[in-house]
Amino acid sequence: MKVLVVGGGGREHALCWKVRQSPLVEKVYCAPGNAGIAADAECLAVAADDLAGIEREVLARGVELVVIGPEAPLTRGLTDRLQAKGVLVFGASQAAAEIEGSKIFAKELMRDHHIPTAAFAVFDDAAAARQYVRAAPRPQVVKADGLAAGKGVIVCRDAAEAAAAVAEVMEKKAFSAAGNRLIAEDRLIGEEASFLAFTDGETVVPLASCQDHKAVFDNDAGPNTGGMGAYSPAPVVTAGLHDRIMNEVMIPTVRAMRQIGRVYRGVLYAGIMVTAGGPMVLEYNARFGDPETQPLLFRMKSDIVPLLLACARADGSLAKMAIEWHDETAVCVVMAAGGYPGSYQKGLAISGLPQAAQLPQAYVFHAGTANQDGRIVTNGGRVLGVTARGANTAAAIAAAYQAVKLISWDGSFYRTDIGKKALGRG
Nearest to 163 by CA among 185, 140, 180: 140
Domain boundary assignment for the chain: 2-91, 125-180, 191-320, 329-422
3-state secondary structure of 259: helix
What architecture is domain 191-320? 2-Layer Sandwich (3.30)
Residue 246: pLDDT band with limits 50, 70, 90: very high
CATH 3.30.1490.20 matches 125-180: yes
Residue 125: CB atoms within 10 A of its CB come to 12
What pLDDT is stored for residue 150 in this prediction?
72
pLDDT attached to residue 17: 98
Model confidence at 136: pLDDT above 60: yes
The Cα 147–Cα 264 span in angstroms is 19
**102-114 pLDDT tens trace:** 999 999 999 999 9
Pairwise CA distance, residues 354 & 406, whole Å: 9
Predicted structure pTM score = 0.96
Domain 329-422 CATH class label: alpha beta
User: What's the pLDDT score for residue 426?
Assistant: 53
* The three-state (H, E, C) secondary structure of 77-131, written as one string: CHHHHHHCCCCEEECCCHHHHHHHHCHHHHHHHHHHCCCCECCEEEECCHHHHHH
Q: What percent of the chain is predicted at pLDDT more than 90?
A: 97
11 pLDDT more than 70: yes
The Cα 184–Cα 104 span in angstroms is 10
Q: Residue range 92-101: average pLDDT?
A: 98
| Rounded Cα gap, residues 2 and 15, in angstroms | 14
Contact 329, 396 (CB under 8 A): yes
Provide the β-strand partners of residue 192: 273
Residue range 2-91 forms a domain whose CATH class is alpha beta
pLDDT mean over 383-411: 98
| Rounded average pLDDT over 6-11 | 98
Of all residues in the chain, the percent with pLDDT exceeding 70 is 100
**How many other CB atoms sit within 10 Å of the CB of residue 134?**
14
pLDDT digits (tens, 9 = 90+) for 138-188: 999 999 999 987 778 999 999 999 999 999 999 999 999 999 999 999 999
The pLDDT tens digits for 179-197 are 999 999 999 999 999 999 9
Average pLDDT (265-288) is 97
